[in-house]
Chains A and B, each alone.
Chain A
Amino acid sequence: MTSTIEAPRSPYTRSSKKSSVNWEKWGWIYMRVSGVVLIVLIFGHLFVNLMVGEGVNALNFAFVAGKLSSPFWMVWDVLMLWLALIHGGNGMRTLVNDYATSRISRGILKIAILVSVVALIVLGTLVVFTFDPCPAGAPADLVASFCKTL
């Protein structure tokens, strides 16, 4: 009896070991999705800060403190922070992959990008969630109006 053996569905490709998660694919999808979301987040942020009401003149410590005490803006800012930093970090990673020729310089640059992205994300998230809008002893004309009632 003769039988034909089917060719394997995937022949050997240049990367011999295949990881189960295709990071390049998900990285590409992440760039597209986060890009669209960031357009809304960043332009919404700029519109509210610079154009609504008094416009850019309203910007001071009290304005920012007021925004960072509202759960809506906390979520908005944290989303913007995470999405933008990972988006930028991944973009820098692809640039390094494209233009750093030696293995060592590529590794150093990518680790530097990772460290700075992680540091900025941790610091930024910490600021957003632990921010005290009414520091003790601050003059009343510099802090948000609701501090008096506290």
Chain B
Amino acid sequence: MSTATIDQKPAVPEEIKSFTVTLIVRRFNPEVDEEPHWQDFDVQLYPTDRVLDALHKIKWEQDGSLTFRRSCAHGICGSDAMRINGRNRLACKTLMKDLDVTKPIYVEAIKGLPLEKDLIVDMEPFFDSFKEVQPFLVAKSTPVDGKERQQSVAQRARFDDTTKCILCAACTSSCPVFWTDGQYFGPAAIVNAHRFIFDSRDENAAVRLDILNDKEGVWRCRTTFNCTDACPRGIQVTQAIAEVKQAIMRGKA
């Protein structure tokens, strides 16, 4: 009777190598600084780490004064939109392996909104535009059976794309028109108007179209597609704006 021996050692998973990444962060402390300035940090990271992990490492291990917003850290709350290598991205959805780590990674606050500290901007102007388009269901009539307003699959699919918005402001703060004229409603407000304009249950499409027919409304859009590129949810923002333009020209949704 022979004793069973292990001929082969159990396969050890190949060790995943970490590497040093240089992050250059645009810092601004309103109590000390006159102007924002760039500061670089070296961080040890894995390819599966995200930019948010890098910022955490800096804040927890190197410089506790680094300030940024984040809540869920999983691409749903829309708190951590920032400009990463010149493009608006969610820090929690940008993986190291998708960036060129041989070069430094530039991280700064989103543009076009007042800078408050480090990576935090004042979001109020953004939310003011959002509120102005009445982003809520307006339905004064009574439902047919007195209980619910039913919708066909096709009617729901009509505005499905624009329901995905998480209000992270990545689109609006990537828009060159918004950068120079904060009066412009911006892509995010138009996306959220689109969500209700094309909702068959809603009755206030005409009012929202009137609001967006303004001098600072949809006509300021130059179809540069920055917003579509920036959207972390993959919403076809420029297409939604074009659909609102068409609806205004037709006079109805």
Residues of A in contact with B (beta carbons under 8 Å apart) = 9-11, 13-15, 22-25, 27-29, 94, 97-99, 101
Contact = CB atoms under 8 A, between A and B. Distances in A.
Given A9-B207, A9-B210, A11-B207, A24 B181 contact: no
Contact of B132 (A13, A28, A29): A13
Contacts of A9: 206-207, 210
Interface of B: 132, 176-177, 180-181, 183, 206-207, 210-211, 213-217, 219-220, 222, 245, 248-249
Contacts of B249: 25, 29
B144 to A, nearest CB: 22
Given A10-B211, A22-B213, A25-B213, 11 more contacts: A11-B207, A13-B210, A13-B214, A14-B183, A15-B216, A24-B219, A25-B249, A27-B219, A28-B219, A94-B222, A98-B181
Given A24-B220, A27-B219, A28-B219, A10 B181 contact: no
A98 B219 contact: no
Nearest to B211: A13
Contact of A15 (B214, B219, B220, B222): B214
Q: Is the interface of B mostly helix, strand, loop or mixed?
A: helix
A98 B180 CA distance: 6
Contacts of B213: 22, 25
B211 A99 contact: no
A7 to B, nearest CB: 8
A98 B245 contact: no
B181 A97 contact: yes
Nearest to A28: B219
B207 A14 contact: no
Contacts of B245: 28
Nearest to B134: A11
Contacts of A15: 214-216
Contacts of B217: 24
Contacts of B214: 13-15
A27 B206 CA distance: 21
**Which of B214, B222, B249 is most buried by chain A, counting CB atoms within 10 A of its CB?**
B214
Given A14-B216, A99-B180, A25 B248 contact: yes
A24 B248 CA distance: 12
- The 3 A-B residue pairs whose C-beta atoms are closest, nearest first, are A24-B219, A10-B210, A28-B219
Given A24-B219, A25-B248, A27-B219, A11 B177 contact: no
A20 B164 CA distance: 36
A74 B9 CA distance: 89
A23 B222 CA distance: 16
A107 to B, nearest CB: 15
A132 B10 CA distance: 96
